[in-house]
Amino acid sequence: MNNQILTDRANPERWSLTRTLRVIHLDALLLFGLLSLLGVGLMILFSAGNQEVALLTRQLIRMGTAFFGLVVLANIHPDRMRDMAYWVYGAGLVLLIAVLLVGEEGKGAQRWLNLGVVRFQPSELMKIAVPLLLAAYLAERPLPPTLPRLFICFLMVAIPALLIAKQPDLGTALLIASSGLIVIFLSGISWAVIISFILAAASALPVLWYVMHDYQRQRVLTFLNPESDPLGSGYHIIQSKIAIGSGGLFGRGWLEGTQSQLAFLPERSTDFIFSVIAEEFGLMGVGLLLLLYLAIAGRGLYIAGQAQSSFARLLAGSISLTFLVYVFVNVGMVTGLLPVVGVPLPLVSYGGTSMVTLLAGFGILMSIHTHRRMMTS
Amino acid sequence: MSTRFVLKDHVNESRLVNDRLIFAAIFAGILFAVLMARLAILQVIEHEHFDVLSNKNRVDIEPLPPQRGLIYDRNGVVLAENIPTFSLELIPEKVVTLDNTLSELAVLFSLSIEDVAKIEKTIKQQRRFRHVVIRHRLTEQEVAIFSANRHRFPGVDVVGRLIRHYPHGALFAHTVGYVGRINEKDQSLIDEKNYKGTLQIGKTGVEKYYEDLLHGQVGYQQVETNVQGRVVRELNNEASVSGQALFLNLDIQLQRVAAEALGEYNGAIVAMDPKTGGVLAMVSKPDFDPNLFVTGISRKDYSVLRDSIDRPLFDRTLRGHYPPGSTLKPFVALAGLELGIVKKSTKTYCPGWYTLPGKEHRYRCWKSHGHGRVDLKQSLAQSCDVYYYDLANVLGIDRLHQFLDLFSFGRRSGVDVPSESRGLSPSSEWKRSARNQVWYPGETLISGIGQGFNQTTPVQLAYATSMLAMRGINTLPQVARGSRLDAGSELNLTPVKRGDSLPIVSNENWQVVVDSMIEVTSGQRGTAKSVGKGLPFKVAGKTGTAQVFGIKQDEKYDAETLAKKLHDHALFIAFAPAENPEFVVVVVAENGGSGSKTAAPMARKMIDQYFGVIVDE
């Protein structure tokens, strides 16, 4: 097999950073975007976390670990990933069931599996495993998929999503479901199927309401009318909107946001960190941040478009678009557009598990891009 | 699945996917435009509005925890009260640097490393806006020390708290129970909003069972805070609603007598009013001081309680499994009468043993040289085992089980104290499903004298006895008598709970059993003839002496303790006056040796106390 790396054809002799990075299978543009985002994240965290250095150190260690994962994945050939798809998914399912049976509880939900040395959230593994499996499965046969195969795809998405929703972790379940549905959408199923699916989902909403936990219903009710419960769950949204709105066009300045610094804003270093950015950097700041997100996802979509197999195309497309879903859900949540479902702002919020999975996803993107075969014409 | 090989059209396929990618990208762009529009509305159009709110946002909302309802006995004696204390508390969300704060506080209040670790663990487990107690029950001096250093500790404050206190200490340890810190498990069960500011929750006993009623409704106060988040001024408030006062059926005097009567024995005494189901006394020995648990028990104290071989934390009244022994005989006798197997006059010859037809194994009567010919009355009065081997053999285990089931043997009584055990009333079906073994006829004999697989709890035995006393009227045992909203209002009585009355074939059969039980306490040869002596009314009773099976191999005692551990359990059940019962009492004295010698006199003490009899020494 000709696994030769793309060479800088214009000037093969000159040293270039891009080329050096290619040797270890990293994509320079994507890397630059991610590093900028992580840098912004640390800066905000410093402000949101009451300027505690220990917090930053912990986050930096996580970033280091996650980056290591990115480099490892970038160096695995996409074909190997495709071969492992079923195994990874199967292992993920077993672990998810294990969590429901023997998992550890934290804050009213069962999400953790204690493996002696480390505590581990199998739902994070599923964030990669579900799109990986679907892409591998769909790419086995010509696209668009036939209806029976489509049905199997839905099962592949629904089973882990329901298991995770049962933990209960509705936010993660929705993200995983959407990462799978995106693969299905990209596979080119007909618009008639898409529209009938949307209609079916809309009619299933009352059922969803019925199976939801009380606290989840409460969140939805509060979302519809936050002022109805200013002391309870509406407090988050009200304070968050005050923080964002008072930021204005240019913000109050770094470390100057009163909402954040005076601790009126709850969970400000995790789920509500976007409100801190909006308060301290204003509309300009968040506009630039959203552009950075779009740029990163845009590079991902470009990689998807340039990919050489349907498998890689579907997987890369899903990873990039799910990344945007993350951002949209989080920002929609803190601005009061969407109910509070507990989704962190990707790569900026404090916390380790989602950081590892997200960067792993970008590792896969880089692998797809850097393992392309030279087109010999 | 078809195995047909389909040629993939790569060009078409990549065009298809790329079209979708472009569509999705455009869609994502639109969604982000919506986000930007939303942000623009908040940050530009409504900016002034939020800016004003933000500047005014020095107003904080603080929860006002409700006062927990007090618990009284039936005479109005306080069993659980709240005493005012100061505690040092921290709100993780408002602390700037947690590590520094904790280490400086540790120096100031000489906290041990273990204390700090415990606080850190609590902080991790709880929501960040919840108060975490650093130290309970501050002395005046400690309050002064903190006040002088207050500026150094934003997010930390001295808070006035009402702390639960049990003035009678161990006397009500199991039944009233205790409160403790709200842990992760509790958090998932409570309405978080209503418990904002509440530190403690009922953990065991009545405190747990009636948590909702005792807790009350949280209130709020709006306060103006300074930059450090300290309260400068109170703006307005919504008062909390105190929890309701709970009045129990328990009588402190009876409770005391029961505890004293048991003396050094481990065991349980339960007394109830069979007419109302009101539980008058409920004592499990050994006991412990519930006050230790209120502000968090120290590891050392806890391990002493937990590791004690006498298991003081274990509530024997509800969870102690004892073979009912001969106290089951009145129920077996009634089964025989009601099912038409024996009559009042039916006699059996007791040579001191019984054998199954065609078998050689001898089932012994407790009286080795036998009771001779005994009728039903004497079989109960003298507790003849052979009579009941024979009766049980004819009844068969399943009919016996069915009858005992009516008296709730093997079921929870449903008393209003949590964690009741079910006991065990065996049947052939039970043995098949639980142990996958067939039932042997010999086991029926043993069941007939309340041994073998039979296990009952003292509360269950009291419940069954009260149904017997009331000739089939089924009144559920209840510890709570009523509740009161506040000092001015009326006592809201808990309604008497009735189950289905027992089916009665003949009232006469019931009377025969009651008469025989009277014979136990007053007959010439009654096994507890001391109990009925000198009382102006008749007492119906039954002794029981239950064999203790085996001893765990890992238990390690000297010969004397070992011998005591192997002594039989002494049981006694009674109700009085026999013809118009007002009082049911059940005594279980572990390793008490003999029901007549140990348990029956304890029951007499309870009867004397209840009926106000003056005892001539």
Chain B residues in contact with A52 (beta carbon < 8 A): 96-98
Chain A residues in contact with B32 (beta carbon < 8 A): 290, 293-294, 324, 327-328
CATH class of the structural domain B62-248: alpha beta
CA distance A245 to A278: 8
Mean pLDDT computed over B396-414: 94
* SS3 assignment, position B526: coil
Q: Starting from the edge strand earliest in sequence, which strands make up the sheet with A109-114, in order?
A: A104-106, A109-114, A119-120
CA distance A112 to A98: 10
CA distance B31 to B29: 5
What pLDDT sits at residue A102? 76
pLDDT tens, residue by residue, B435-444:
999 999 899 9
Chain B: residue whose CA lies nearest to A323: B28
Mean pLDDT computed over B393-419: 94
Judge contact between B121 and B296, C-beta under 8 A: no
What pLDDT sits at residue B135? 87
- The percent of residues above 90 in pLDDT, for chain A, comes to 45
Based on C-alpha coordinates, what's the Rg of chain B?
Answer: 33
CA distance B405 to A148: 55
Q: Looking up tokens 């039944």, which residue turns up?
A: B175
Where exactly are the structural domains of chain A? 25-75+228-371, 76-212
- What is the rounded average pLDDT for all residues in chain B? 88
Mean pLDDT computed over B149-168: 89
Distance from CA of B155 to the nearest CA of A (A): 10
pLDDT band of A1, cuts 50, 70, 90: very low
Distance from CA of B182 to the nearest CA of A (A): 13
Judge contact between B196 and B66, C-beta under 8 A: no
Angle at Cα B546 formed by Cα B542 and Cα B548, nearest 5°? 165
**A232-260 as b/e, with b when 16 or more CB fall inside 10 Å?**
ebbbbbbbbbbbbbbbbeebbeeeebbbb
CA distance B518 to B575: 10
Q: Which amino acid is located at B413 in the chain?
A: S
CA distance B392 to B397: 7
Distance from CA of B39 to the nearest CA of A (A): 7
pLDDT band of B3, cuts 50, 70, 90: very low
Mean pLDDT computed over A204-230: 71
Chain A residues in contact with B13 (beta carbon < 8 A): 142-143, 188, 310
- Reported residue count of chain A is 377
pLDDT tens, residue by residue, B416-474:
999 999 999 999 999 999 999 999 989 999 999 999 999 999 999 999 999 999 999 99
What pLDDT sits at residue A376? 43
- Of A78, A191, A83, A180, the closest CA to residue A134 belongs to A180
The answer, yes or no, to whether residue B617 has pLDDT greater than 50, is no
Q: 0.80 cut: is pTM over it?
A: no
What pLDDT sits at residue A375? 54
Query: Do residue B13 and residue A107 have CB atoms under 8 angstroms apart?
Result: no
Judge contact between B416 and B210, C-beta under 8 A: yes
CA distance B593 to B327: 15
What pLDDT sits at residue B11? 82
CATH number of B252-287+314-483+507-611: 3.40.710.10
- Of A327, A323, A330, the closest CA to residue A299 belongs to A323
Distance from CA of B17 to the nearest CA of A (A): 5
Query: Do residue A108 and residue B42 have CB atoms under 8 angstroms apart?
Result: no
CA distance B495 to B481: 8
The terminus-to-terminus CA distance of chain A in angstroms comes to 16
Mean pLDDT computed over B335-358: 92
The answer, yes or no, to whether residue B603 has pLDDT greater than 70, is yes
CA B561 → CA B106, B308, B589, distances in Å? 45, 14, 16
Chain A residues in contact with B36 (beta carbon < 8 A): 287, 290
- Of A307, A362, A293, the closest CA to residue A186 belongs to A307
Mean pLDDT computed over A51-65: 87
On whether any CB of chain A is under 8 Å from the CB of B18, the answer is yes
- Reported residue count of chain B is 617
Q: Which amino acid is located at A4 in the chain?
A: Q
In chain A, alpha helices (H): 17-23, 28-48, 53-74, 78-102, 122-139, 147-165, 170-186, 191-211, 214-224, 234-247, 258-261, 273-306, 310-334, 353-370
CA distance B482 to A329: 51
Structure tokens at B32: 């982000």
β-bridge pairing B353-354 and B200-202: unpaired
pLDDT band of A15, cuts 50, 70, 90: confident
The answer, yes or no, to whether residue A344 has pLDDT greater than 50, is yes
Mean pLDDT computed over B314-336: 95
The answer, yes or no, to whether residue B332 has pLDDT greater than 60, is yes
CA B105 → CA B109, B110, B134, B135, distances in Å? 6, 8, 9, 10
Judge contact between B43 and A249, C-beta under 8 A: yes
Judge contact between B228 and B52, C-beta under 8 A: no
CA A373 → CA A354, A369, B11, B31, B248, distances in Å? 32, 10, 17, 35, 83
The answer, yes or no, to whether residue B525 has pLDDT greater than 60, is yes
Chain B: residue whose CA lies nearest to A293: B32
Chain B residues in contact with A51 (beta carbon < 8 A): 96
**Distant-in-sequence, close-in-space partners of B45: CB < 8 Å, separation ≥ 6:** none
- Of A86, A139, A134, the closest CA to residue A311 belongs to A139
Of the two residues A237 and A86, the one the predictor is more confident about is A86
The terminus-to-terminus CA distance of chain B in angstroms comes to 95
Query: Do residue B43 and residue A247 have CB atoms under 8 angstroms apart?
Result: yes
On whether any CB of chain A is under 8 Å from the CB of B9, the answer is yes
What pLDDT sits at residue A103? 67
Query: Do residue B47 and residue A241 have CB atoms under 8 angstroms apart?
Result: no
Mean pLDDT computed over B318-341: 94
What pLDDT sits at residue B159? 87
Of the two residues A13 and B33, the one the predictor is more confident about is B33
- The percent of residues above 90 in pLDDT, for chain B, comes to 57
In B, residues 116-145, which contact A (CB 8 Å cutoff)? 127-129
* SS3 assignment, position B197: coil
pLDDT band of B546, cuts 50, 70, 90: confident
ipTM: 0.89
Distance from CA of A155 to the nearest CA of B (A): 17
Query: Do residue A245 and residue B43 have CB atoms under 8 angstroms apart?
Result: yes
Of the two residues B301 and B334, the one the predictor is more confident about is B334
Query: Do residue B43 and residue A294 have CB atoms under 8 angstroms apart?
Result: no
Tell me, rounded to whole angstroms, the distance of Cα B212 from its chain centroid. 16
Q: What are phi and psi of B435, to 5 degrees?
A: -120, -10
What pLDDT sits at residue A269? 82
Where exactly are the structural domains of chain B? 62-248, 252-287+314-483+507-611
To the query of whether residue B326 is one of the catalytic residues in this protein, the response is yes
Give the number of other CB atoms < 10 A from CB of residue B274. 22
Cite the beta strand spans of B50-137 per DSSP E.
59-64, 71-72, 78-90, 132-135
Tell me, rounded to whole angstroms, the distance of Cα B461 from its chain centroid. 16
pLDDT band of B556, cuts 50, 70, 90: very low
On whether any CB of chain A is under 8 Å from the CB of B493, the answer is no
> Is the bond leading into B601 cis (omega within 30 degrees of zero)?
no
CA distance A318 to B199: 47
The listed range with the strongest mean pLDDT (A171-180, A236-245, A282-291, B234-243) is: A282-291
Give the number of other CB atoms < 10 A from CB of residue A82. 20
Q: Looking up tokens 């700090």, which residue turns up?
A: B116
CA distance A362 to A368: 10
CA B139 → CA A180, B133, B144, distances in Å? 60, 15, 9
Three-state SS string over A109-153 comes to EEEEEECCCCEECHHHHHHHHHHHHHHHHHHCCCCCCCHHHHHHH
Q: Any idea which of A127-131, A221-225, A249-253, B440-444 has the lowest mean pLDDT?
A: A221-225
Tell me, rounded to whole angstroms, the distance of Cα A328 from its chain centroid. 10
Q: Any idea which of A203-207, A210-214, A257-261, B225-229 has the lowest mean pLDDT?
A: B225-229
CA distance B604 to B610: 10
Of A144, A230, A258, the CB nearest to B54: A258
- The percent of residues above 70 in pLDDT, for chain A, comes to 84
The catalytic residue among B284, B326, B594, B596 is: B326
CA B361 → CA B165, B354, B357, B383, B394, distances in Å? 58, 8, 10, 21, 18
The answer, yes or no, to whether residue A104 has pLDDT greater than 50, is yes
What pLDDT sits at residue A264? 67
- What is the rounded average pLDDT for all residues in chain A? 84
On whether any CB of chain A is under 8 Å from the CB of B184, the answer is yes
pLDDT band of B108, cuts 50, 70, 90: confident
Q: Any idea which of A137-141, A201-205, A279-283, B252-256 has the lowest mean pLDDT?
A: A201-205
Query: Do residue A262 and residue B42 have CB atoms under 8 angstroms apart?
Result: no
Judge contact between A75 and A25, C-beta under 8 A: yes
pLDDT tens, residue by residue, A283-332:
999 999 999 999 999 999 999 999 989 999 999 999 999 999 999 999 99
Of the two residues B26 and B298, the one the predictor is more confident about is B26
